[in-house]
Amino acid sequence: MAMKRPNPLIEAYRYIKNIYEIESMDPGILEKIIFSPKWTGVFADRGQTGVAFNYAGEHLVYGPVKDLNSIEGLKRFIGQSLFSLAEYLLPLDEDIHMRSICLSTLNALSRPLILRGYPKDQAITKFNASKDIDFILPEDIVVIIGYGRLIDQVYGRCKELHVMDMRPKHKLTSMCIDKNIGYGSKNTFIHSSEENEEILSKADVVLITGATLVNGTFLELIKYSKVARVIGMYGPSAQILPDILLNSGINYIGSSIVTKPDVLESILMDNFSTRHMFKDCMDNYVIKGINQC
């Protein structure tokens, strides 16, 4: 029998709750949960709002939603604290979609802590695409976990760009058939998740999607990145309290904080293309760890 992967969200929950107790803060009261294709949103009072990737819709790599009735049953937590919801969800980590709701909840709880200046010993700056990935050198081998828009920002800056994703290659990029069969642009190599250890072990820079917090693979990916100078995490799912990521071995975070919950609600409910529209309801930020070159 395969060993069960440890659930890092449990330690994250304990860490966040401890800070709430130290700071004498009250958690938000749950107002609504939105489970849309691709993204989950958790909305509470005091502006405590968080999102996370949910592997639904076109991203059903783990199969369809197992128990929609259980998700609908979370209605009973409306009017209760976000900690109550998180405590219920944490033991349900075998269900990928429940994990997404759990991470969204922890992200919502993290929001006021980030606004209070956590982590205390790290500077949080507004994201600048041309400046904030200037640690990538022309001779670097860069690996991105998760096929998405970050590729456009990194392409052309390094010697090799490798992209790992759980979806089939033909769903991600163009295929060229001549004497060989190739995918993607020159000097960009697309790989399946089965190649994670082999490719990551040679990388100078590794940039991991926050969606790996949902499927629980991020600690394994960090372990594989044995020689990487920079191990980063990016995307809205990485809204969790930065201390948790930095303590896990991440030394670069590029994420966002929800600034307009009502706009986010409209985007999720109308199922718009969130790729470009999250900018209308979130502010992007960057944290560079003290040991990041």
CATH code (residue 23): 3.30.390
Q: What are the tens digits of pLDDT across the range 97-155?
A: 999 999 999 999 999 999 998 887 776 776 665 567 889 999 999 999 998 888 888 98
pLDDT, position 128: 60
The domain that contains 250 carries what CATH number?
3.40.50.11590
Report how far residue 50's alpha carbon sits from residue 100's, in angstroms, rounded to the nearest whole number.
Answer: 11
pLDDT, position 40: 97
Concatenated DSSP letters for 11-58? HHHHHHHHHHHHTTPPPPBEEEEEE-SSEEEEEEGGG-EEEEE---GG
Same domain, 151 and 244: yes
Q: Are strands 39-44 and 30-35 parallel, antiparallel or unpaired?
A: antiparallel
Position 191 in a domain: yes
pLDDT, position 169: 63
Enumerate the H helices of the chain as residue ranges.
8-22, 68-72, 82-89, 96-115, 150-154, 196-200, 212-215, 218-224, 242-246, 261-270, 274-277
Tell me what the mean pLDDT of segment 200-216 comes to: 96
Sign of CA dihedral 101, 104, 108, 114: positive
Same domain, 196 and 111: no
Same domain, 134 and 232: yes
Position 3 in a domain: no
pLDDT, position 185: 66
Position 199 in a domain: yes
pLDDT, position 31: 99
Comparing 143 with 156, which gets the higher pLDDT? 143
Q: For residue 28, give its domain range.
A: 8-115
Label residue 275 by pLDDT band (50, 70, 90): low
Indicate the residue among 80, 115, 150 that finishes a domain. 115
Same domain, 106 and 142: no
Same domain, 234 and 258: yes
Indicate the residue among 89, 115, 141 that finishes a domain. 115
Position 78 in a domain: yes
Same domain, 162 and 208: yes
pLDDT, position 133: 85
Checking if the pLDDT of 289 tops 80, the result is: no
Checking if the pLDDT of 271 tops 80, the result is: no
Same domain, 283 and 139: yes
When divided into structural domains, the chain yields a total of: 2
